[in-house]
Amino acid sequence: MIGILDYGMGNLRSVQKALQRVGAEAQTIGRPEAVALCDRVVLPGVGAFADGMAHLRATGMDQAVLDYIATGRPLMGICLGMQLLFGASQEGATEASQPVPGLGVLPGRVVRFEEDQGPGQARLKVPHMGWNRIDWQSGTALFDGLTPGGHVYFVHAYYCQPEHPADTAATTTYGRPFCSAVHRDNIWATQFHPEKSQQVGLRILKNFVERAADRPSDPSTG
């Protein structure tokens, strides 16, 4: 069963219906105890990073997610859900030197698009809103069955900067290239909204449902 984490950040129905459309049994999960019962978990979310972390903590979901990931079972973050997996975000930080801490599952940080692209460059509109291309960076199962150059729907003002280049599964160019999807072991995440990206998005969700693999257990820890 796929659990969609409900921690009070946005409507989850479209994610649930999209997963059901691709044949998955998907339920929203409101209690941290239920997370351990899932064999796949989706961490969705829209809104502000600091609110997202506060809601995760208030519902006890933060620890439940970390415990779940430690079991090696697959998790997919979407939009804010992707950003929350990282170390920290500029969003909501009172000082640039003190970003708001995230779940810290993936090393890296979350930063805002700069409107000012430098002298002679056109200013960037923020948020980045609309259909943009994903350029694959790794042979991840996220994009199985898709042809290169497909478009997906974005709506965000902040984006992730993974510390390890190998974590980046796809980039998208807005002003300059940024990380639009990550894949590391059992963790998948997209900055775009697959549940709003028509056929391309449904295929990505189907890949998560059918092809995301458990992280191989580490023999040294038994």
Residues annotated as part of the active site: 79, 193, 195
Beta strands per DSSP E along 44-147: 75-78, 86-89, 100-101, 106-112, 128-133, 135-136
Contact 2, 41 (CB under 8 A): yes
Residues 77-106 interacting with another protein (rule: CB under 8 A): none
Residue span binding another protein (CB under 8 A) among the ranges 68-76, 103-111, 123-131, 183-191: 123-131
With a CB cutoff of 8 Å and minimum separation 6, the contacts of 91 are 48, 49, 50, 83, 100, 110, 112, 157, 158
Q: HSE, CB side, 13 Å, CA atoms: give it for residue 214.
A: 10
Structure tokens of 60?
A: 């006890």
User: Tokens 């044949």 label which residue?
Assistant: 23
Site string (48-77) toward another protein, x via CB under 8 A? x-----------------------------
Find the binder of another protein among 31, 57, 125, 176 (CB under 8 A). Answer: 125
Tell the smallest beta-carbon distance from residue 16 to another protein (Å).
8
Residue with tokens 């948020």: 127
Closest to 6 in 3D by CA, of 48, 57, 68, 59: 59
Nearer to another protein (CB atom), residue 167 or residue 195:
195
Return the structure tokens found at 165: 């280049």
Q: Which stretch binds another protein (CB under 8 A): 28-36, 57-65, 160-168, 196-204?
A: 196-204
Q: Does 18 bind another protein (CB under 8 A)?
A: yes
Nearer to another protein, 14 or 217 (CB): 14
Site string for another protein, 154-193 (x = CB under 8 A): xxxx---------------xx------------------x
Closest contact distance (angstroms) between CB of 178 and another protein is 12
Work out how close the CB of 203 gets to another protein at its nearest, in angstroms, rounded to a whole number: 10
CA 162 to CA 201: how far, in whole Å? 22
Site residues (vs another protein, CB under 8 A): 10-11, 13-14, 17-18, 21, 46-48, 115, 123-133, 147, 149-151, 153-157, 173-174, 193, 195-202
